[in-house]
Chain A
């Protein structure tokens, strides 16, 4: 580091908190990678100029993405999953709706495909020393897409009080805010500042007010329902007159009052066409009726992966299949049997066969390698049939055991279930399959079965994966796993605001889960979007957000 770089770095350090300086120290010492540093610094609320100075001083560079020669104007036809219900931010729980919300509404921050947070309606944020209070500076002079506004701190406060309120009908944000934020914890400091006083310390709180929490688009304080009539928000697009037909399509026009003068949308508008069936959407894309198909599976979209006229945007995500092994009932009440089952699985072959390589190896815990806080030094579990048979013998189950595997007929899950049957069969775990529709699985079997496969969507941070399915008090604890040591590790993880402290706890969690094996996680899979070659500038995220703001048609 030269003297000038050191001087500028010192200048940046002066204005930073102890936590932020600690993060800089970690980067300089090489204990965290550049990627990990950027991700963590954005959580702590580093401004972009400050981040740039630190990275430059440490001889790294950050090149912004350019959109190429996109022409102004035009509309895109977008094939999209049919929304599962009313278009209402608070009810939203599916890709069909969250993608639409993100065109007309915006969040305090955007969680990008690398899990970095980018300021949007907040300009910066900082935690207190123990992560129990987070203070956000709110962007000024932002208008809503109906021309009203400007958006105020009162709007932000009202939005989050509503999202944290358990008495609000159908409030889907509660699963994120439960035990984290209560309505009384949201307060206005001044006309530019909002303070969140948390129920408990949380080092990853900014993700809960970002696009990762898709319910959290900022709405006017006066909002009282009926979003599907107005599509109100501060986003780059607005509802075209008469443009929403339930279950059929949504047409959006460019928002002429969009707040960012340097990043006005190129497109005149977007026409979202809803599809219930993936094959029919893929056929429509191939026939040229669609310019973009927001998400496709490897199973149905092999043709798109090799189509020379199609660009596939491939985003690794933390979405995964969780195979729970119920620890309080035979046969998986013996951890040797659980470990044996885990050792019987050939993960690389599964990834190749089911995902054509479009998935990442996972290690039977939800601290995926994509998370900067994961401890990647923990060895990857690999297939070892000899050891698995030995474990079965040690458990006194050399003659084998019988178990029923319950799951849902969704995407590749039945195929995964069949591969588990085959894997178990090699070591004497005789698995009988019970495949049902999703509704029946979640209503009857999910939390009451000896073995099951559950589909978990993407999360920008692993907190939810580590709590709901694994804590003794976890509401999605299908394995009925109750381990006080684990519960203690989780508490340490959540309150760790410092990255090295998070990594230290992560290692313990990963070791413990590998030993106890309450669940198998063979892979986390990619989010695939098909785009015609003429389209450029589309940014996607693991959550399923589509940022069309800087997308357009190339000349």
Chain B
């Protein structure tokens, strides 16, 4: 198991290094001059030149990369070019907000969709199965900005049951914070429910039709025991992989929802950074999302290998 873990961590580090090179080159390939982005198109060229020089963006690319990656490895993410504050300060707040939103969405959507998938599989071909699969797929197909606006109009403006304001005072108690996060979580739930439920349903059906399930039933085990101890353990493996891969999306990919609800998560922060050509913020932001994504994938691999020993032993063969 340790060897398996070390191999996965080493692979993750190589992936991060490749990501650092790609994001560095990609952010510098964005059109336009940093100083002009900050000062605006009508700024005096002399002002743009002095600003570019003071920011160090007129140095050779290799020097800039080595300076940045050296600082990153030592935990120094640099200063935001646009906002003149440490990148870490902006990222920590954005990441914290994104994690809160993702956590609320996860707590709602994961049990709900797994339960939905199990019920659909156990009621395969019946009305409930159709409602869950077709309804879930329809919800997934709807763009987030559409569901967001509809939910805001219905729940916040017309019925006034949920607040539109997502940001609460920092000293607000956890329940108040969760209450304010329910509305922006709902579009996420709608997006993810159908996907996770269908994967769970497919895994369940495959497991239900397998030989070991038939054997367990023929052994005379109660149906409830068969489902919980034999079917679910195998059926949920694809679901775990899917949920883990959605973590990156939930942490760093919610630009639309964060914008619609004016929520200062890492997705909106990255969007602002790209539009401002704020290199340190773009690079550190993408690396952070990458780390979160790889971390989640690693956790999924570990869970997967614990559930299925063939995975962790495969490397020895």
Q: Interface on A for B, CB 8 Å cutoff?
A: 82, 84-86, 88, 91, 93-94, 166-172, 174-175, 178, 228, 245-249, 273-277, 279-281, 283-284, 286-287, 289, 437-440, 442-444, 446, 468, 475-476
A93 touches B82 (CB 8 A): no
With both beta carbons as reference points, the residue of chain A lying nearest to B153 in the complex is identified as A283
Distance in angstroms from A365 CB to nearest chain B CB is: 19
B262 touches A287 (CB 8 A): no
Q: A172-B40, A443-B33, A446-B41 are in contact. List 13 more A-B contacts (CB 8 A).
A: A86-B85, A88-B84, A91-B39, A93-B39, A168-B50, A175-B43, A178-B44, A246-B85, A248-B264, A283-B149, A284-B164, A287-B156, A443-B32
Nearest first, the 10 closest Cβ-Cβ pairs linking A and B are A174-B44, A93-B40, A442-B41, A86-B84, A443-B32, A170-B51, A287-B164, A85-B82, A439-B32, A166-B46
Chain B, residues 95-128, CB within 8 Å of chain A (1/0): the string is 0000000000000000000000000000000000
Q: Which of A169, A283, A437, A446 contacts B51 (CB 8 A)?
A: A169
A175 touches B149 (CB 8 A): no
**Using Cβ atoms and an 8 Å threshold, which residues of chain B touch A174?**
43-44, 46-47
B269: interface (CB < 8 Å): yes
Distance in angstroms from B78 CB to nearest chain A CB is: 15
Q: Which of B30, B83, B275, B277 contacts A86 (CB 8 A)?
A: B83
Distance in angstroms from B300 CB to nearest chain A CB is: 32
Bound-state CA distance A231–B82 (Å) is 18
Q: Which of B37, B39, B41, B259 contacts A277 (CB 8 A)?
A: B259
Q: Which of B41, B42, B44, B167 contacts A248 (CB 8 A)?
A: B167
Among B41, B50, B157, max chain A CB count under 10 A is at B41
Distance in angstroms from B119 CB to nearest chain A CB is: 35
Distance in angstroms from B185 CB to nearest chain A CB is: 16
Using a Cβ cutoff of 8 Å, how many contacts connect chains A and B?
Answer: 134
**Using Cβ atoms and an 8 Å threshold, which residues of chain B touch A82?**
272
A170 touches B164 (CB 8 A): no
Q: Which of B51, B152, B271, B277 contacts A439 (CB 8 A)?
A: B277
B38: interface (CB < 8 Å): yes
A280 touches B262 (CB 8 A): yes
Bound-state CA distance A276–B268 (Å) is 9
B43 touches A93 (CB 8 A): yes
B248: interface (CB < 8 Å): no
Bound-state CA distance A442–B48 (Å) is 14
**Using Cβ atoms and an 8 Å threshold, which residues of chain A touch B43?**
93, 172, 174-175
Bound-state CA distance A168–B46 (Å) is 9
B71: interface (CB < 8 Å): no
**Using Cβ atoms and an 8 Å threshold, which residues of chain B touch A170?**
35, 38-39, 47, 50-51, 54
**Using Cβ atoms and an 8 Å threshold, which residues of chain B touch A289?**
163-165
**Using Cβ atoms and an 8 Å threshold, which residues of chain B touch A444?**
31
With both beta carbons as reference points, the residue of chain B lying nearest to A457 in the complex is identified as B42
Distance in angstroms from A318 CB to nearest chain B CB is: 14
A91 touches B38 (CB 8 A): yes
B259 touches A276 (CB 8 A): yes
Q: A-side binding surface: helix, strand, loop or mixed?
A: loop
Q: Which of A84, A443, A468 contacts B82 (CB 8 A)?
A: A84
B198: interface (CB < 8 Å): no
B289: interface (CB < 8 Å): no
Distance in angstroms from A456 CB to nearest chain B CB is: 8
Task: Decide: A283 near B152, CB < 8 A? Known: A275-B262, A446-B41.
Answer: yes
Chain B, residues 113-153, CB within 8 Å of chain A (1/0): the string is 00000000000000000000000000000000000010011
Q: Interface on B for A, CB 8 Å cutoff?
A: 30-33, 35-47, 50-51, 54, 82-85, 89-90, 93, 149, 152-153, 156-157, 160, 163-165, 167, 259-262, 264, 268-269, 271-272, 275-277
With both beta carbons as reference points, the residue of chain B lying nearest to A177 in the complex is identified as B44
Bound-state CA distance A82–B149 (Å) is 21
Among A82, A167, A443, max chain B CB count under 10 A is at A443
**Using Cβ atoms and an 8 Å threshold, which residues of chain B touch A284?**
164-165, 262
Task: Decide: A169 near B264, CB < 8 A? Known: A82-B272, A443-B32.
Answer: no
With both beta carbons as reference points, the residue of chain A lying nearest to B90 in the complex is identified as A246
With both beta carbons as reference points, the residue of chain A lying nearest to B160 in the complex is identified as A287
Distance in angstroms from A89 CB to nearest chain B CB is: 13
B262 touches A439 (CB 8 A): no
With both beta carbons as reference points, the residue of chain A lying nearest to B258 in the complex is identified as A276
**Using Cβ atoms and an 8 Å threshold, which residues of chain B touch A280?**
259-262
B47 touches A166 (CB 8 A): yes
Bound-state CA distance A86–B153 (Å) is 34
Bound-state CA distance A228–B277 (Å) is 21
Task: Decide: A286 near B157, CB < 8 A? Known: A86-B82, A175-B42.
Answer: yes
Distance in angstroms from A376 CB to nearest chain B CB is: 28
Distance in angstroms from B54 CB to nearest chain A CB is: 5
**Using Cβ atoms and an 8 Å threshold, which residues of chain B touch A172?**
39-40, 43-44, 47
B31 touches A277 (CB 8 A): no
14 pairs of residues in contact across A and B, judged by CB atoms under 8 Å: A86-B83, A86-B85, A91-B38, A166-B50, A170-B54, A175-B47, A246-B85, A276-B272, A284-B165, A286-B157, A289-B164, A289-B165, A438-B41, A443-B31
A440 touches B47 (CB 8 A): no
A171 touches B83 (CB 8 A): no
**Using Cβ atoms and an 8 Å threshold, which residues of chain A touch B260?**
277, 279-280
Distance in angstroms from B264 CB to nearest chain A CB is: 5
Distance in angstroms from B222 CB to nearest chain A CB is: 52
**Using Cβ atoms and an 8 Å threshold, which residues of chain B touch A438?**
41
Q: Which of A171, A249, A437 contacts B167 (CB 8 A)?
A: A249
Bound-state CA distance A168–B84 (Å) is 16
A171 touches B272 (CB 8 A): no
B50 touches A277 (CB 8 A): no
Distance in angstroms from B277 CB to nearest chain A CB is: 7
B152 touches A287 (CB 8 A): yes
Bound-state CA distance A94–B51 (Å) is 17
**Using Cβ atoms and an 8 Å threshold, which residues of chain A touch B46?**
166, 171, 174
Task: Decide: A171 near B50, CB < 8 A? Known: A283-B157, A289-B165, A440-B32.
Answer: yes
**Using Cβ atoms and an 8 Å threshold, which residues of chain B touch A175?**
42-44, 47
With both beta carbons as reference points, the residue of chain A lying nearest to B277 in the complex is identified as A439
**Using Cβ atoms and an 8 Å threshold, which residues of chain B touch A287?**
152, 156-157, 160, 164
With both beta carbons as reference points, the residue of chain A lying nearest to B42 in the complex is identified as A175
Bound-state CA distance A437–B50 (Å) is 25
With both beta carbons as reference points, the residue of chain B lying nearest to A82 in the complex is identified as B272
B37 touches A439 (CB 8 A): yes
With both beta carbons as reference points, the residue of chain A lying nearest to B259 in the complex is identified as A277
A247 touches B38 (CB 8 A): no
Bound-state CA distance A170–B54 (Å) is 9
